[in-house]
Amino acid sequence: MRKPLFTLAFAFCFGPLAYCANSYYSHVVFDNSLTGERYFYTRAQASGDSTLVAPEGRIPVESKIFHTPPNALRLQWQSHANGGWTARIERPDIRNLPARYSGDTLFLWLYSEQTIENTELPLLQLTDSDHGFSEPVKLSRFVRSLPTAKWTQVKIPLREFRATSLNGFNPARLESVTFIQGEADGKPHSLLVDDIKIDFADEGKSQTLSAPSAVAAKGYDRHIDVSWTYPPNDTVQHFVVYRSLDGRIYQPVGIQMPGIHRFADYIGRTNQTAYYKVATVDRSYRESNVSAPVSASTRELNDDELLTMVQEASFRYYWEGAEPNSGMALENIPGDDRIIALGASGFGVMSIIVGADRGFITREQGAQRLTKIVGFLEKAPRYHGAWAHFLNGETGKTIPLFGAADDGGDLVETSFLLQGLLAARQYFHDQPDLVRRITALWEGVEWDWYRQTSNSDALYWHWSPDYAWQLHHRLTGWNETMITYLLAMASPTHSVPPSLYYTGWAGQSQEAARYRSGWGGTTEGDHYANGTTYYGTKLDVGVGRGGPLFFTHYSFMGFDPHSLTDRYTNYFDNNTNIAKINRAYCIDNPGKHEGYGNDAWGLTASDDPWGYGAHEPREKEDNGTVTPTGALSSYPYTPEFSMAALKHFYRDLGPQLWGVYGFRDAYNEDQHWVAPIFMGLNQAPIAVMIENYRTGLVWKNFMSNPEIQSMLKSLANLRDQEHH
Ligand code: CA
């Protein structure tokens, strides 16, 4: 047994399809850049007489020469006595995956087209996420001169990086690796850097890994999907995919982390045949034999086929990407492998209905997965019938991710989940056990408890056994919580009076108006009704220009907005208007962001270069980030505009944006940034809303619940009574 310098307690991969992002990112600092020109997670600068190539302060990406495909980073400098330069490479900023490194050695790979004497090499310095940093270390101490045109591995024991900051330095929380000017030799140098990681010096020496098996390839419009199987094995560093266009000469085109057994090879051309082999690479970068070759061809897909392709890829997030113990949806991939999200799981259930109906899986497989999910939910903690926002997929326990008081029931997430389960109850009507168990879960939710008091006129978002109503978030529309009111009114066991729709959701109090103008930054629509015309479209309901587009998606994946006309509007029409206004704003583009246009629109909640944001069509909440789910999940509202966006995202931006689960979460052309993650809340709406446009499948199933029909009747009665 090795004796690690430091270790962290982690539960790694369980089960054959387990994700291993925690494990992978407990070692990897840099592997590849998603963007081709410069790497977003870098900071580079020169001072005085020294020079460093650093477009917009970033390190350039090298795509022809790499240690792992498809790229590496290129440092190009000239060091002078009266000057200096630094090139800082940061750990990628991945949601819910803070630095938790495990190992005793820093590994990196260096390459130069010309021999570099070791005295000419730069220095290396590390920082951690608690503002700690090390003193610079001379690379020359750990590498002889770099041979010409050959990748050379450098290993530096972490104990060599002595703390020089007041806060000490903790390599387990490594945040960046910085190259610093060394000898001022005045000569031009060029050095490629790839595969920076922390690991154990003696890792992976013991066994030779086998090649992946069951390798398959399937061609689409501009890309080919390569898939394989591999048993769980924690000595796997990654898989490497080789492509040949002639069946003879193979080039490495990409890698995939353990636990994901699929690679989307974006070729960018139709009618291209390609051959693939896949190999396994261990943590010492020793490669297995390659698999036997497989081949497939791209071909031009028609619009219908493109829709199916995008639906299937998005569905896979909830199928292949599900947390293995619960069968539920992870909050984001890559991300913390344990965090399953309740609402995203409800959306995922609806995408499984789509998957079963379109034949991506069989009905039996869909029913089996639903049974697993229902079994997990039956055992999970409940708070007057509601579940928490986040659960630990391994233990089933509540995760208070947003703070200590977020440790109880989340009625909104619960309603997103039940929207999915109620659609599934109707779709899988031939599975009596599943129907009975979903009904029991649905009838167990005490919607009326979430009024806070028996005479309250609204619903509240959270209740906690320890903190009670401390979060005190009254549900006030227009936003994504309409489905919460609709289900609370529809409950056969713990319903709330339909009057809450008008007093809570569409409430007219000063408190409600302040709430709306507080997040919307405007009084337009602060009394629920709006009436302002934006870009030629009159908006009946919504704050300002209607807010982020997810307001028109989350409540309407099962609930058909055609079926609801209240005192203010019809919601299919109103949602359509919000989508049109969002698009018109992006075309107008008052923030002058790069890449917006007719086919590049859709502001909604997503990952962005600075974190997670609820982007919407107003300058303060528009930072240049376009989120594919915005336009694509609006398909029923704006089919032609959504199709134009789909083709742009796939055919023009595909090389960066397209991955194993469809479109990556978001992109920002101002910043040359593409999200490193897919989000559980954003993939399923694409699959489900496209299906609702194509066949109305999920709408039909959800709306066929008798409780929903009687709720709509009482709501209509109330509307008509008040009108007389
Ligand atoms: Ca690489």
* DSSP class per residue in 279-318: EEEETT--B-PPPPPEEEE-----HHHHHHHHHHHHHHHH
> β-strands 294-297, 273-282: how paired?
antiparallel
pLDDT band at 77 (very low <50, low <70, confident <90, very high): very high
Rounded to the nearest whole angstrom, what is the distance from the C-alpha of residue 196 to the centroid of ligand 1?
9
Share of the chain above pLDDT 70, in %: 96
Q: Answer yes or no: is pLDDT of 186 > 60.
A: yes
Q: What is the SS3 assignment for 443?
A: helix
Q: What is the mean pLDDT of residues 350-379?
A: 98
Question: Tell me, what's the pLDDT at 353?
Answer: 98
How close is the Cα of 170 to the center of ligand 1, in Å? Answer: 26
| d(CA 666, ligand 1 centre) in Å | 22
Average pLDDT of the residues of the chain: 95
Angle value at C-alpha 101, between 395 and 207, nearest 5 degrees: 85
Distance 331 CA to ligand 1 centre (A): 26
In tens, the pLDDT along 527-561 reads: 999 999 999 999 999 999 999 999 999 999 999 99
For residue 268, how far is its CA from the centre of ligand 1 (angstroms)?
Answer: 21
The Å distance, Cα 241 to ligand 1 centre, comes to 13
pLDDT at 7 over 60: no
Cα separation of 447 and 490, whole Å?
Answer: 10
Rounded to the nearest angstrom, the distance between the alpha carbon of 466 and the centre of ligand 1 is: 48
Angle at 657 between CA 653 and CA 659, to 5 degrees: 135
Residue in 677, 657, 671, 676 with CA at minimum distance from that of residue 591: 671
Indicate the pLDDT class of residue 9, thresholds 50, 70 and 90.
Answer: very low
**What pLDDT sits at residue 43?**
98
pTM of the model: 0.96
Question: What is the 73 CA–ligand 1 centroid distance (Å)?
Answer: 8
**Ligand 1 center–CA 78 separation, angstroms:** 24
Q: What single DSSP character describes residue 551? A: G
Reply yes or no on whether the pLDDT at 515 is more than 60: yes
Q: What's the distance, CA 175 to chain centroid?
A: 21
Does the pLDDT at position 206 exceed 90? no
Question: Which of these, 186, 200, 203, 196, lies nearest to 139 by C-alpha position?
Answer: 196
Q: Taking Cα atoms as reference points, which of 104, 36, 98, 48 lies closest to residue 73?
A: 36
Q: What is the pLDDT of residue 189?
A: 97
For residue 234, is pLDDT > 90? no
Mean pLDDT of 313-333: 97
What pLDDT is stored for residue 202 in this prediction?
82
- The percent of the chain in helix, strand and coil, each rounded to the nearest 5, is 30, 25, 45
Q: Specify the pLDDT at position 20.
A: 85
334 CA to centre of ligand 1 in angstroms: 18
394-to-11, 19, 440 alpha-carbon distances in Å: 9, 12, 24
From the CA of 716, how far away is ligand 1's center (Å)?
A: 60
Q: Output the CA 34–ligand 1 centroid distance in Å.
A: 10
Q: Tell me the per-residue pLDDT of 422-451, one tens digit each, with 9 for 90 and over.
A: 999 999 999 999 999 999 999 999 999 999
Q: Which pLDDT tens digit goes with each residue over 610-622?
A: 999 999 999 999 9
Span from the CA of 25 to the centroid of ligand 1 (angstroms): 15
Q: Say how many Å lie between the CA of residue 640 and the centre of ligand 1.
A: 38
pLDDT, tens digit, for every residue of 144-156? Answer: 889 999 999 999 9
Whole-number Å distance, alpha carbon 517 to ligand 1 midpoint, is: 47
Ligand 1 mean position, distance from CA 238 (Å): 12
pLDDT value at 17 more than 50? no
- Between CA 348 and CA 682 the distance in angstroms is 10
Gap from CA of 194 to ligand 1 centroid (Å): 5
The residue with tokens 């004497």 is 117
pLDDT, tens only, 43-64:
999 999 999 999 999 999 999 9
- At 145 the pLDDT is 87
Sign for the CA dihedral angle at 639, 645, 647, 649 comes to: negative
Q: How far is the CA of 32 from the centre of ligand 1 (A)?
A: 4
Place of tokens 């030779």: 208
Ligand 1 mean position, distance from CA 212 (Å): 21
Which residues touch 114 (CB under 8 Å, ≥6 apart)?
A: 148, 190
* Per-residue pLDDT band at 2 (split at 50, 70, 90): very low
Cα of 316 from ligand 1 centre, angstroms: 26
Distance 285 CA to ligand 1 centre (A): 12
pLDDT tens-digit readout, 466-482: 999 999 999 999 999 99
Please tell me the distance between residue 649's alpha carbon and the centre of ligand 1 in angstroms: 24
- Whether the per-residue pLDDT at 204 is higher than 70: the answer is no
Cα 618 to Cα 112, 380, 583, 657, distances in angstroms: 47, 40, 12, 25
3-state secondary structure of 427: helix
pLDDT band at 207 (very low <50, low <70, confident <90, very high): confident
Q: How far is the CA of 65 from the centre of ligand 1 (A)?
A: 9
- In this structure, the strands spanning 667-668 and 409-410 are unpaired
pLDDT for 167: 85
Radius of gyration of the chain (CA): 27
CA of 31 to the centre of ligand 1 (A): 5
Q: Rounded to the nearest whole angstrom, what is the distance from the C-alpha of residue 60 to the centroid of ligand 1? A: 13
Confidence of residue 4 (pLDDT cuts 50, 70, 90): very low
Instruction: Compute the distance between CA of residue 543 and CA of residue 532 in angstroms, rounded to an integer.
Output: 10
- State in Å: Cα 22 to ligand 1 middle: 20
240 alpha carbon – ligand 1 mean position (Å): 11
HEC profile of 554-622: HHHCCCCHHHCECCCCEHHHHHHHHHHHHHHHHHHCCCCCCCCECCECCCCEEEECCEEEECCCCHHHC
Task: State the number of CA atoms in the 13 A half-sphere of 117 facing the CB.
Answer: 7
Q: How far is the CA of 143 from the centre of ligand 1 (A)?
A: 20
Q: How many CB atoms lie under 10 A from the CB of residue 284? A: 16
Confidence label for 721 from pLDDT (cuts 50, 70 and 90): confident
